[in-house]
């Protein structure tokens, strides 16, 4: 007799696979769309978990807000045919109950829910005593504490398998991205949760198809454990997030084109060379800190001088001149304007704080 695996076992294996690939439509729309997507995703041979939104939190009312509970039956059917575990977003206790009633294998908490501790607690309470893996997206605003808080609430409810999804952060005005990746926040979140599954969501970061590949590659280069990418049998006709979805076939090509990196390699030569380069970096970092410390001492002298002459700390013209000068120099050194701006902003703030202490002491 052939022992068939239970869906729980299949889900455990999927959760443990690296890279972990989750894909499926932004929203379940029709039974036919769900079934066709599922089969095409299975044909890629690269998808571990199938996602589909059943209840859609849209920014404005009037857009498609999800097919609701009847879509859960379609997912069950899709899973029967493909054997691929399914994942659904939940935002309320009722949605958790419904999803579990239909044996959804993996749940995720969306960005608009993670921002709200009441909602996260509501979901967490409904999860008490349940054994289901839960993925938690970052909140829409760049606030790590909210994200960490959501992880704590779900963990306190007794959920053992928690994963993180980095889907970028909302920012005002038009940028290249729909949601700015702010990779440094993802890196910090990962640092604070060593060993926790951490995947990237290029679809909601990009909001468009043409830059998905680049963002996915960046995520893999930053050692993410996997990707969640939206796919649709007819992306342009999708009822939600049409611009960012790709066909399952395109997903397959994209994943094949990614340069998968390994975290380490068992080579003494590699480790010795890396160690040498890292020592150089440490040395330079020490020197940079030394120099910045000296720069602050000069700022304090300027502060003393301004104090004696009763002059304001901030001198806008001088600040613009410093930035202009730095852009020109930085350009020659291969440093981006974005970096120069961030670096000088930080140095300037520190400098103002030092002057402030001198002037108001």
User: Pick from Mn ion, ligand PEP, none: which does 167 bind, CB < 5 to 8 A by kind?
Assistant: ligand PEP
Where are the strands (E) in 90-217, listed by range?
106-109, 134-137, 162-166, 197-200
List CB contacts of 140: < 8 A, sequence separation 6 or more: 111, 112, 114, 115, 169, 170, 179
| In the complex, minimum distance from the CB of residue 27 to ligand PEP, in angstroms, rounded to a whole number | 7
**In the bound complex, which residue of the shown chain has the CB atom lying closest to Mn ion?**
26
| In the complex, minimum distance from the CB of residue 164 to ligand PEP, in angstroms, rounded to a whole number | 12
User: CA angle, corner 59, sides to 23 and 123, nearest 5?
Assistant: 65
As a whole number of angstroms, the distance between CA 223 and CA 132 comes to: 25
Give the residues lining the site for ligand PEP (CB under 6 A): 26, 53, 110-112, 137, 167, 204
For residues 111 and 185, which CB has a smaller minimum distance to Mn ion in the complex?
111
Measured from the Cβ of residue 167, the count of other Cβ atoms closer than 10 Å reads 24
As a whole number of angstroms, the distance between CA 246 and CA 236 comes to: 9
| In the complex, minimum distance from the CB of residue 238 to Mn ion, in angstroms, rounded to a whole number | 9
User: Pick from ligand PEP, Mn ion, none: which does 110 bind, CB < 5 to 8 A by kind?
Assistant: ligand PEP
The SS3 of residue 169 is strand
As a whole number of angstroms, the distance between CA 105 and CA 11 comes to: 7
User: Pick from Mn ion, ligand PEP, none: which does 41 bind, CB < 5 to 8 A by kind?
Assistant: none
User: Pick from ligand PEP, Mn ion, none: which does 146 bind, CB < 5 to 8 A by kind?
Assistant: none
**In the bound complex, which residue of the shown chain has the CB atom lying closest to ligand PEP?**
110
For residues 38 and 52, which CB has a smaller minimum distance to Mn ion in the complex?
52
As a whole number of angstroms, the distance between CA 89 and CA 74 comes to: 15
Task: Pinpoint the alpha helices (H) of 83-143.
Answer: 93-101, 111-114, 117-127
| In the complex, minimum distance from the CB of residue 112 to ligand PEP, in angstroms, rounded to a whole number | 6
For residues 64 and 319, which CB has a smaller minimum distance to ligand PEP in the complex?
64
What are the CA-CA distances from residue 15 to residues 44, 80, 209, 267 (Å)? Answer: 18, 19, 26, 29
User: Pick from ligand PEP, Mn ion, none: which does 307 bind, CB < 5 to 8 A by kind?
Assistant: none
Helix then strand then coil, % of the chain, to nearest 5? 55, 10, 35
| In the complex, minimum distance from the CB of residue 209 to ligand PEP, in angstroms, rounded to a whole number | 15
| In the complex, minimum distance from the CB of residue 190 to ligand PEP, in angstroms, rounded to a whole number | 18
Q: What is the crossing angle of helices 144-156 and 183-192, to 10°? A: 30
| In the complex, minimum distance from the CB of residue 22 to ligand PEP, in angstroms, rounded to a whole number | 10
User: Pick from ligand PEP, Mn ion, none: which does 209 bind, CB < 5 to 8 A by kind?
Assistant: none
| In the complex, minimum distance from the CB of residue 273 to ligand PEP, in angstroms, rounded to a whole number | 40
| In the complex, minimum distance from the CB of residue 64 to ligand PEP, in angstroms, rounded to a whole number | 11
For residues 79 and 167, which CB has a smaller minimum distance to ligand PEP in the complex?
167
For residues 137 and 354, which CB has a smaller minimum distance to ligand PEP in the complex?
137
What are the CA-CA distances from residue 175 to residues 205, 208, 245 (Å)? Answer: 11, 12, 19
Write the Ramachandran bin of 68: left for phi over 0, alpha for psi from -120 to 50, otherwise beta: left
For residues 232 and 354, which CB has a smaller minimum distance to ligand PEP in the complex?
232
User: Pick from ligand PEP, Mn ion, none: which does 111 bind, CB < 5 to 8 A by kind?
Assistant: ligand PEP
CA count, 13 A, side-chain hemisphere, 156:
12
For residues 122 and 241, which CB has a smaller minimum distance to Mn ion in the complex?
241
For residues 109 and 220, which CB has a smaller minimum distance to ligand PEP in the complex?
109
Residue 335 tokens, joined: 């440093």
For residues 190 and 204, which CB has a smaller minimum distance to ligand PEP in the complex?
204
Give the residues lining the site for Mn ion (CB under 5 A): 26, 241
């Amino acid at each position: 007799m052939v022992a068939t695996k239970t869906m729980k076992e299949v889900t455990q294996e999927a959760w443990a696979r690296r890279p972990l690939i989750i894909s499926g439509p932004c929203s379940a729309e029709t039974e036919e769309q769900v079934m066709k997507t599922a089969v095409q995703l299975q044909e890629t041979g690269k998808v571990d978990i199938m996602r589909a939104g059943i209840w859609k939190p849209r920014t404005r009312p009037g857009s498609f807000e999800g097919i609701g509970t009847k879509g859960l039956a379609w997912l069950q059917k899709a899973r029967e045919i493909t054997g691929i575990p399914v994942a659904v977003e939940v935002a309320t206790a009722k949605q958790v109950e419904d999803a579990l009633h239909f044996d959804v294998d993996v749940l995720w908490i969306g960005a608009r829910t993670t921002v709200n501790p009441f909602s996260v607690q509501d979901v967490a309470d409904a999860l008490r005593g349940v054994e289901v893996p839960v993925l938690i997206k970052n909140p829409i605003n760049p606030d790590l504490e909210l994200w960490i808080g959501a992880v704590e609430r779900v963990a306190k409810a007794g959920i053992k398998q928690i994963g993180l999804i980095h889907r970028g952060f909302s920012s005002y005005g038009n940028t290249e991205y729909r949601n700015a990746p702010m990779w440094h926040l993802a890196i910090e979140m990962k640092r604070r949760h060593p060993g926790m599954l951490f995947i990237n969501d290029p679809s909601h970061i990009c909001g468009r198809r043409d830059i998905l590949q680049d963002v996915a590659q960046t995520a893999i280069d930053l050692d993410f454990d996997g990707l969640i990418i939206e796919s649709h049998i007819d992306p342009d006709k999708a009822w939600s997030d049409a611009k960012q979805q790709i066909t399952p076939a395109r997903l397959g090509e994209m994943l094949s084109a990614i340069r998968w990196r390994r975290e380490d390699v068992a080579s003494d030569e590699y480790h010795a060379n890396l160690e040498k380069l890292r020592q150089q970096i440490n040395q330079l970092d020490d020197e940079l800190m030394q120099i910045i410390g000296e720069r602050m001492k000069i700022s304090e002298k300027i502060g003393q001088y301004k104090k004696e002459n009763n002059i304001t700390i901030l001198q806008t013209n001088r600040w613009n001149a410093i930035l202009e000068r730095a852009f020109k120099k930085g350009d020659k050194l291969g440093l981006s304007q974005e970096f120069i701006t961030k670096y000088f902003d930080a140095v300037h703030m520190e400098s103002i704080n030092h002057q402030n202490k001198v002037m108001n002491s």
